[in-house]
Amino acid sequence: MRLRKKLLLSILLVALVPYTIGLVVVRAVTKKSITGDVLTALTSYGENISDAFGDFFSQKINYTRAMAGFSAVKDLNWPEVKAAIAELNEYAYEDFVLAREDGSYYKNTVFGNPYYGGLISQNDKEQNAELKYLTDRDYYKYLVAENTSGEFRSIVTDPVVSLSTGATQIICGSSVIKNGKAVGLVGATLTLREIEKMYTSTIGQFKETFGLHAVAVVQNTKGENIINYQYDENGRGYVNKNWEMSPEMTEAFALMSSNYTEPVQFKANGRNYYAAMCSVPNSGYKVFIAAPEQDLFKAVYYIQSAMLVLIGITAFLIILISLILAFRMVKPLNSTAKTLKDIASGNGDLTYRVEILGHDEISSVGNYVNDFISSQHTMISKIREQGEKLQQVSQNLANHTENISNQVSAIANGVSDLNFQTEEQSASVTETSATIKEISQNIENLAKMIETQTEALSESSAAIQQMVASFESISTNLDKAGKSFDNLQKSSSEGKQSIGNVQELVSQVSAESEHLVETNEIINSIASQTNLLAMNAAIEAAHAGESGKGFSVVADEIRKLAEDSSSQSKGIEQALKSIVEKINTIVEASTTARTAFDSVAENINETTKLTGEIAVSMREQNEGSKKVIESLKSMESITVQIRDGSVEMNSGASMILKEMNRLASVSEKVSQTSRDIARATEQITEVVDSISETSSSNTEAADVLNELTGKFKL
């Protein structure tokens, strides 16, 4: 870099950098202050929306909790519940659900299957249609199936598809608790149209606050969008685009939902966004508000633009002043630089001197340059003389090293041949030794196998002798078992006759119990009608106001008497059903026992026949086992003779192996000595090569010195 540019750059750094740093600090402080206020406002906006959703869900949940306390709901009496909903339809939802403990359910907007008392089925017109169940729904599991403690629970669900209508809906439900147990659930539905209507009324002046590129999203507990409030490019304003959201924004919202509670920054759709997340009370829903940085920080960008303009004007003035100062300072130095360039571009004329003009610092530089040229003249003259001497010494050294290298190469070739022959001998000895060792191991393994075979033959002979004794014992026991089976057959015939008598008596008792069940059904019907009349009376008393309070008390007492009668009737019904079921169970058990006695008699006859056949087989097996014992004794004698021969073979192989190991040791020592000589020869060769390379380097260096010093004019 030229001196003029360096001076210009130095002046710019001293003057412009502090000024620029000050402006940047002011911008950063301003942006930080505005950023805090903007992000606080963004979070507050999201909290207002989430609180509105929480109040909306709380209102719906409170209604279902109140409904769950009605006695008709606790008894899962759908006709009474449906009649009460019709009386109170001004408060009812679009769709009302009453589910039983097994997951089957009723709906006030669907007539249901009349053959099942109004329960929803796959085909409500068929008598034997299969019922629909809510057992796979998460809200049913939470409110009923998993509520083993009988806790009074409520829930706002994720959007689900209705089994009866196929529409997407949100369930606001509560547990139905009776006698400390969850016996069902009562729930009401909210359509996505209702949610969107409530959200639109809550969002307020969204466009005026955050511009045209902001996003307001409501997600369920699974991270799925329920509402996605975005600006419509066709000019309709902000609408719900639940199906449109960029992957970057989806990923950012998922990360916030799992890890962050403070506002975060991310990039999507080519813009930098800031986003805040707020949880909706009384549910697992979340509200996300995201707006572009450009719309949120308009004031910061305006300040930044003004600062850039101010920096540009200041930089122009500083550069202009710096150019004038640099030109005046560099002009005297250009003269001295031109003189040095003439010397450097010539043929190395060290007799030339720089012309000195003036008495300032630049003229002092010229004097120093002349002194430097004089000292170089003296030094290069001496270097030329020493270079010529060095060239002669290098030539003599190269001749001596070449003779040494030839002699060492001859020694190395002889040692290499000796080493190769020694290694071949060592490999042959090693291979022979390994082969003999393998033969020895095989003989030793054969001896062990023969020993094992001898022991196995002895054990087999003893085992077969024990088996012969067992066969004789089994034959004796089979004769005794045949006599016991005859006695067992007589006893089973007597048991079969007794079971038949018991079955006739139980059938008579079952017929008499049916009359009691019919009587209890009449009592239960009267109690249900009385309870319905009491509920209607309570509704009429509520419509009458103050004048109907006395009538309300009487209706309440009638309702309690009806509920007590219904409760007692149900208890009697359950007891009678239990008795009938037990009687039927006894009848079935008697029939099963009689059949079992028949089967036992048949099995006893078959077992008696099998016992006789087994006894004959045991006698034949006993004779065959005695012949096997004689064969095993003959095999044991032959095995002993083979074992003695293998021991003698193993001893001879061991002696051969010892001699081969000794020969291998001697070959290894010879090979090691040969390798040591070869390594020493290689080291000598390396040293000689190094000396030769050094000599060549010296010669080259001397040539270079002579060439360089020859360029100078002394």
Domain ranges of the chain: 69-189, 394-708
How does the average pLDDT of the chain come out, rounded?
A: 75
Q: What angle do CA 24, 27, 33 make, to 5 degrees?
A: 140
What pLDDT was estimated at residue 138? 92
Does position 429 have pLDDT exceeding 70, yes or no? no
Does position 92 have pLDDT exceeding 50, yes or no? no
Does position 177 have pLDDT exceeding 50, yes or no? yes
Among 223, 165, 161, 159, residue whose Cα is nearest residue 194: 159
618-654: pLDDT as tens digits: 667 667 666 766 766 777 677 677 666 666 766 766 7
Which residues neighbour 509 within 8 Å (Cβ) at sequence distance 6 or greater?
583
Kindly indicate the confidence band of residue 53, based on its pLDDT and cuts at 50, 70 and 90.
confident
Q: In which residue are the tokens 């590129």 written?
A: 213
Its pTM stands at 0.42
- The mean pLDDT of 403-420, rounded to a whole number, is 68
What pLDDT was estimated at residue 3? 61
* Phi, psi angles (nearest 5°) of residue 261: -120, -15
Query: What does 489-521 look like in DSSP terms, one character per residue?
Result: HHHHHHHHHHHHHHHHHHHHHHHHHHHHHHHHH
Lowest mean pLDDT across 111-115, 151-155, 248-252, 311-315: 311-315
What pLDDT was estimated at residue 161? 87
675-687: pLDDT as tens digits: 777 676 777 777 6
Does position 245 have pLDDT exceeding 70, yes or no? yes
Bridge partners, residue 191, by sequence: 169
Which residues neighbour 113 within 8 Å (Cβ) at sequence distance 6 or greater?
119, 120, 121, 123, 124, 125, 126, 129, 131
3-state helix, strand, coil in the chain (%, to 5): 75, 10, 15
Which residues neighbour 682 within 8 Å (Cβ) at sequence distance 6 or greater?
412
Kindly indicate the confidence band of residue 447, based on its pLDDT and cuts at 50, 70 and 90.
low
Bridge partners, residue 231, by sequence: 238
Q: In which residue are the tokens 């016991």 written?
A: 484
What pLDDT was estimated at residue 652? 66
Q: Which amino acid does the sequence have at 119?
A: L
Does position 486 have pLDDT exceeding 80, yes or no? no
Lowest mean pLDDT across 412-416, 567-571, 588-592: 412-416
DSSP letter (8 states) at residue 154: E
CB 272 within 8 A of CB 293: yes
Query: What does 67-116 look like in DSSP terms, one character per residue?
Result: HHTSHHHHTT-HHHHHHHHHHTTTT--SSEEEEETTS-EEETTS--BGGG
Lowest mean pLDDT across 90-94, 260-264, 704-708: 90-94
Which has the higher per-residue pLDDT, 657 or 50? 50
Measured distance CA(676)–CA(360) in Å, rounded: 75
Kindly indicate the confidence band of residue 480, based on its pLDDT and cuts at 50, 70 and 90.
confident
Kindly indicate the confidence band of residue 91, based on its pLDDT and cuts at 50, 70 and 90.
very low
Kindly indicate the confidence band of residue 695, based on its pLDDT and cuts at 50, 70 and 90.
low
CB 450 within 8 A of CB 642: yes
Instruction: Determine how β-strand 264-268 pairs with β-strand 271-279.
Output: antiparallel
Residue 270: exposure state from Cβ atoms within 10 A (0-12, 13-18, ≥19): exposed
Q: What CATH number should be reported for the domain whose range is 69-189?
A: 3.30.450.20
* Residue 45 tokens, joined: 């906006």
Among 187, 230, 671, 676, residue whose Cα is nearest residue 430: 671
Among 389, 387, 378, residue whose Cα is nearest residue 712: 378
